[in-house]
Amino acid sequence: MNIKTFLIGTALLTGILSFSGCKDDVLEEITTLELNQVLSPTGLTAQVVNKTEVKLTWKAMANASSYTVELFQNTDFSGSPLKTFTGITFDQVPYTISGLNGATQHSVRVKGAKEGIEDSKWVTAIFTTEAEQIMLPVASADITKNSVTLKWSVPNEVTHFMIGTTRYDISASEKLAGEKAITGLTPETNYSAVIHNNTAVRGSQSFKTNQDLPTGPNVVIVGTTDDLATMISTASDGKMFVLLQGAKYNTDNLINLPAGVGITIWGQPGPIKPILAFNGINLAASNKTIKFENLDITGYQNDAGLTKRNYIFNQSMASTTDEIIFENCIIRNFVNTPMRLQSTNVITIGKFTVNNCTVFDTGDNNANGTYAFIHSNVATGKVNNISITNSTFHKIGYGFILHNAAPSASVVIENNTFYNVVGDGRYFIDYNAQTIGTFSFKNNILAKTLSPLNTGRGIRYGGTNVVSANNYKTNDFIITSGGPIPNIIDYADTSTALFTSPATGNFRIRDANFAGKSTAGDPRWRL
């Protein structure tokens, strides 16, 4: 392309006038400048997007009709390029290159071209892609004592796994299905699985194989016809009751714990958690730690569709308990709540812990709810410390915590997903004017309130500043005046846009543009 109307600088003009002396020659204006090489593009930038894509931007030059891009995985541009792109017109800029290896340094160069003259000189940039994570978290149902089923998002190009120094090739059918079973592992061992596409790392997940059944003088293997209620009612301190995977344990008898003991009810790991369907537990005047681990605890009387039971704990007798723990459990289908303190007797729970659990269908009456997940509205009933982490709660009819007549020393609510929680006029968390010594509310997702009238409320407490960070709410988590949630970040769309299928309990994040996709909510659902 010609450059039109080239203006002569003052110094050059002065020299020409001196040379011409007093002649009356008229200087001819230069209107065309012919070049034998394309001018190099300027302002080249390389921006990494979506972890393994790069967006290239540069400024157009007047005498270039197209551009060539070359990509290398070294910084000196030696050898053959990894990829070459020719005939790029400027209306294609910014130009995006995808399908790159993650966590890899690349160099890129761009030159201009035009038929009939020499290409421009190269301009260059260097960038590093981000690490990928196409693997899904390893579910407990996919782990046995000597095997694991590893899963990843499809479609994706993958070739093999590395676990330590051992390679496990991925077949064509496994690649299509997005999962591979690996056997021959050692029980109760920590592993890290890394998925590859040839030499490129595309993600990793850690897991621990299940342990063999516990042994020892305090271990009781409970058969499906054994009277578990009687066993617990007569337990000595430190007793561990082992329930077998895939089995159902049902009792209509209310269980009275012996005084001074701590027990564990432990479910054998496997594809199907042991189902525990019992009619509640009464705490003694004093108890140590009561732990439930890897259980499916249901309020149904053994089978779905029958009458629901009301509580796991509905404590009215004076009692002091060190700690109640639910670890890796499903808690479901209770008319009221798993945890209620009532009466004028002094009842103190030192700590109430829930971790890596799924809780649903408790206290729901399709209106204002019956009881909160943790429910104490008497001054004599107190949970000193509450820790709720890495868990999912949905269809919780009344609210999450009601503790409005007594203070707590600490509340930690971190890395949880909430959906269809809070009934009409209820608070998500309600301490009223009661104080909380330390209150940490971090990395949670609050999605859709259950309130049919959209009159649910947020968090109410007195005398304490909540430490709130990286919490999100969808636009169908609707709260009215009262109880604002500090520093909550608005997600502009609905729960169905954020999650895969919330109505069926699938809270896998599907919106890849969600800012909290890898940092907020129950870690089991994150991207």
Instruction: Give CA–CA dist 308/239, Å, rounded.
Output: 29
Q: In residues, how long is the chain? A: 527
Whole-model pTM: value is: 0.71
Read off the tokens for 385. 């410390």
At 16 the pLDDT is 42
Instruction: Give CA–CA dist 96/228, Å, rounded.
Output: 63
DSSP string, 428-485: EEE-TT--EEEEEEES-EEE----TTS--EEEE-SS---EEES-EE-TT----SS---
Q: Which residues contact 401 (CB under 8 A, 6 or more apart)?
A: 372, 373, 374, 386, 411, 428, 429, 430, 431
Q: Which residue has the tokens 């070459």?
A: 84
Instruction: Give CA–CA dist 56/46, Å, rounded.
Output: 5
Q: Which residues contact 24 (CB under 8 A, 6 or more apart)?
A: none
Instruction: Give CA–CA dist 99/157, Å, rounded.
Output: 10
Contact predicate 41/119, CB 8 Å: no
At 30 the pLDDT is 47
Q: What is the CA radius of gyration of the chain?
A: 33
At 21 the pLDDT is 45
Read off the tokens for 431. 């301490």
Q: What is the DSSP letter of 141?
A: G
Nearest Cα to Cα of residue 314 among 288, 345, 280: 280
Structural domains of the chain ordered from first start: 1-131 (2.60.40.10), 140-208 (2.60.40.10), 320-339+358-527 (no CATH)
| Residue 375, amino acid | H
Q: Where are the beta strands (DSSP E) in 304-435?
A: 311-315, 319-327, 330-334, 337-341, 347-355, 358-362, 374-376, 381-389, 392-396, 401-403, 408-414, 417-421, 427-430
Torsion of the alpha carbons at 493, 495, 497 and 502, rounded to the nearest 10: 180
Instruction: Give CA–CA dist 103/111, Å, rounded.
Output: 26
At 271 the pLDDT is 81
Instruction: Give CA–CA dist 466/401, Å, rounded.
Output: 15
Largest pairwise CA distance in the chain: 125
Query: Cβ-count burial of 126 within 10 angstroms (0-12 exposed, 13-18 middle, 19+ buried)?
Result: exposed
Instruction: Give CA–CA dist 269/244, Å, rounded.
Output: 8
At 464 the pLDDT is 73
Three-state SS string across 67-117, please?
EEEEEECCCCCCCCCCEEEEEECHHHCCEEECCCCCCCEEEEEEEEECCCC
Instruction: Give CA–CA dist 408/349, Å, rounded.
Output: 10
Per-residue pLDDT of the chain (527 residues; tens, 9 = 90+): 333 333 333 343 344 434 444 444 445 554 445 678 999 999 999 999 988 999 999 998 878 999 999 999 988 899 999 999 999 999 899 999 998 988 899 999 999 999 989 999 999 999 999 988 999 999 888 998 899 999 999 999 999 999 999 999 999 999 999 999 999 999 989 999 999 999 889 999 999 998 888 889 999 999 988 999 999 999 999 999 999 988 999 888 899 999 999 999 999 988 889 999 988 999 999 999 999 999 999 999 766 667 899 999 999 999 999 999 999 999 999 999 999 999 999 999 999 999 999 999 999 999 999 999 999 999 999 999 999 999 999 999 999 999 999 999 999 999 999 999 999 999 999 999 999 999 999 999 999 999 999 999 999 998 777 899 999 999 999 998 778 899 999 999 999 999 999 999 999 999 999 999 999 999 999 98
Backbone angles phi, psi at 481, to 5 degrees: -60, 145
Torsion of the alpha carbons at 77, 80, 81 and 86, rounded to the nearest 10: 120
3-state secondary structure of 493: coil
Instruction: Give CA–CA dist 443/525, Å, rounded.
Output: 13
How many other CB atoms are found less than 10 A from the CB of residue 414?
17
CA distances from 363 to 218, 236, 330, 423 (A): 35, 33, 16, 10
At 304 the pLDDT is 61
At 17 the pLDDT is 39
Contact predicate 485/459, CB 8 Å: yes
